[in-house]
Structure 1
Amino acid sequence: MRAEAAAGLLRTGEAAIPALRHAVSHARPDKRPRCTGLLEQLTLTGTDGGPQQE
């Protein structure tokens, strides 16, 4: 279920960034890496969560 939720957030793309930033600021320290990892994937790979095309 956790992987499916992460995949859904990545498919959502940029629209998920504000919610993930909020989640990071309120998450327990042991849960923050999961949120920050998703946030990094969204911000580094582009708007749709997939690899950027050049």
Structure 2
Amino acid sequence: MLFSGDFLWAAIVLFAVAIVAGVLGLRGIAGVSMEIARIFVIIFIVLAVIALIL
């Protein structure tokens, strides 16, 4: 479950939420969701590299 790509899927969903919130003018929600999406992408990349090494 850890290497199933859930982090990437969550990052994509949060990115979409950030885009919609930005269009609607909700800058606080957009910023928070983009920050969480960025962290999820970094976690996904780290886990993908670990999976390739193992």
Query: Where do 4+ consecutive residues of structure 1 move more than 3 Å?
Result: 51-54
Q: By percentage of residues, which structure has more helix?
A: 2
The question of 1:39 aligning with 2:37 is answered yes
1:1-54 deviations in Å (ceiling 9; x for gaps): xxxxxxxxxxx411212211110101111211210111111111226xxx6557
Aligned match of 1:14 = 8
State the Cα RMSD in Å.
2.1
Instruction: Note the residue ranges of structure 1 that are not aligned, 5 or more in a row.
Output: 1-11
Aligned equivalents of 2:44, 2:13: Cα separation in 1? 17
Percent pairwise identity: 8
Q: Secondary structure at the match of 1:20?
A: helix
Paired residues, number: 40
Instruction: Note the residue ranges of structure 2 that are not aligned, 5 or more in a row.
Output: 1-5
Per the normalisation by structure 2, the TM-score is: 0.53
Per the normalisation by structure 1, the TM-score is: 0.53
